[in-house]
């Protein structure tokens, strides 16, 4: 579904992604694991058109989206939930969700997706009139995910959805990611919480200082001593 071929991405002189190649098959959950600053967020931003690679190609469903505008990439079926949530703080929950559908014109489909999002996140339905800046961190994460789903993506990019959340809420968010995937959306997940990420992923890539250094099935990586020592706290 997604084929990233040897991309190089720079911030000025900083070489943030070095010949990175990553594939995602339809229906999968693929996770990117790596330390702070490894380049994981940079990879998601490059897919969604917020950054442009200097070299390399990104193909989505067989078509090149390399260097295309972010808006076009959303239209093609890729939604990005950025790190830190970034909801529109002065808008209500409902208005934030409406914003997620701003490129769509199919009113009936949009109504159905409101219902789907409220079914996935009943808390958002309860809070639909509340100003989003006053939501808790976990509720804002739910809203950011719900807003992305309102674009009806076929591929959902999630950047650190568990960051700063209490353990019980982390479990809930991961359960919902698995539900979203089971309902047919392919997921690419960036996580510091490698244990949780590998527990729901089909496959994973390990990124170190901008390079893909390891890839495999989630089970293979969980069993690898190298991964256990570096990313799973030695367990
Ligand atoms: P984290 O989990 O801490 O977000 P990450 O793996 O997502 O880490 P990136 O945010 O992709 O890492 O950063 C990759 C590298 O690019 C880092 O060295 C970072 O300092 C650098 N970088 C990221 N954003 C910028 C920017 N706007 N300007 C300059 N350098 C940047």
Containing structural domain, residue 139: 84-151
Which residues have C-beta atoms less than 6 Å from ligand 1? 11, 14, 16, 34, 36-42, 83
Predicted pLDDT at 48: 97
Q: How far apart are CA 116 and CA 190, in angstroms?
A: 24
Predicted pLDDT at 35: 87
In the reported structure, the alpha carbon of residue 21 is separated from the centroid of ligand 1 by a whole-number distance in angstroms of 18
Predicted pLDDT at 234: 61
Per-residue pLDDT reduced to its tens digit, 11-65 = 999 999 999 999 999 999 999 999 889 999 999 999 999 999 999 999 999 999 9
Residues in the chain where the model's pLDDT stays below 70: 234-235
Shared domain check, 228 and 167: yes
In the reported structure, the alpha carbon of residue 225 is separated from the centroid of ligand 1 by a whole-number distance in angstroms of 27
Q: What CATH number is given to the structural domain containing 157? A: 3.40.50.300
User: Which of 13, 34, 38 is the pocket-test mutation for ligand 1 (most atoms within 8 Å of CB)?
Assistant: 38
Shared domain check, 98 and 64: no
- Quick one: which atom of ligand 1 is closest to the CA of 160? 2
Give the distance, in angstroms, between the CA of residue 199 and the centroid of all CA atoms in the same chain: 16
- Quick one: which atom of ligand 1 is closest to the CA of 14? 30
Q: How far apart are CA 173 and CA 169, in angstroms?
A: 6
Picking from 102, 136, 151, the residue at the C-terminal end of a domain is 151
In the reported structure, the alpha carbon of residue 32 is separated from the centroid of ligand 1 by a whole-number distance in angstroms of 14
> Number of structural domains, the chain?
2
Q: How far apart are CA 162 and CA 196, in angstroms?
A: 9
Residue 47 CB neighbour total at 10 angstroms:
25
């Amino acid at each position: 579904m997604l084929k990233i071929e040897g991309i190089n991405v720079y911030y000025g002189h900083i070489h943030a992604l070095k010949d990175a190649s990553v594939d995602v098959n339809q229906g999968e959950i693929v996770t990117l694991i790596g330390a702070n600053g490894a380049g994981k967020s940079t990879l998601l931003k490059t897919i969604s058109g917020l950054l442009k690679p200097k070299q390399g190609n990104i193909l989505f469903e067989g078509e090149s989206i390399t260097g295309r505008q972010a808006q076009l990439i959303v239209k093609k079926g890729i939604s990005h939930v950025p790190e830190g949530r970034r909801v529109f703080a002065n808008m209500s929950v409902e208005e934030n969700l409406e914003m997620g559908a701003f490129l769509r014109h199919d009113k009936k489909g949009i109504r159905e997706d409101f219902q789907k999002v409220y079914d996935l996140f009943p808390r958002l339905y309860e809070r639909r009139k509340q100003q989003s800046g006053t939501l808790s961190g976990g509720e804002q994460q739910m809203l950011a995910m719900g807003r992305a789903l309102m674009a009806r993506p076929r591929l959902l990019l999630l950047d650190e959805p568990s960051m700063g959340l209490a353990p019980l809420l982390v479990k809930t968010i991961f359960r919902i990611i698995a539900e979203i995937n089971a309902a047919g959306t392919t997921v690419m997940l960036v996580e510091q919480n490698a244990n949780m990420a590998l527990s729901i992923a089909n496959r994973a890539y390990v990124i170190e200082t901008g390079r893909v250094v390891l890839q495999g099935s989630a089970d293979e990586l969980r069993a690898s001593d190298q991964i256990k020592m570096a990313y799973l706290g030695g367990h």
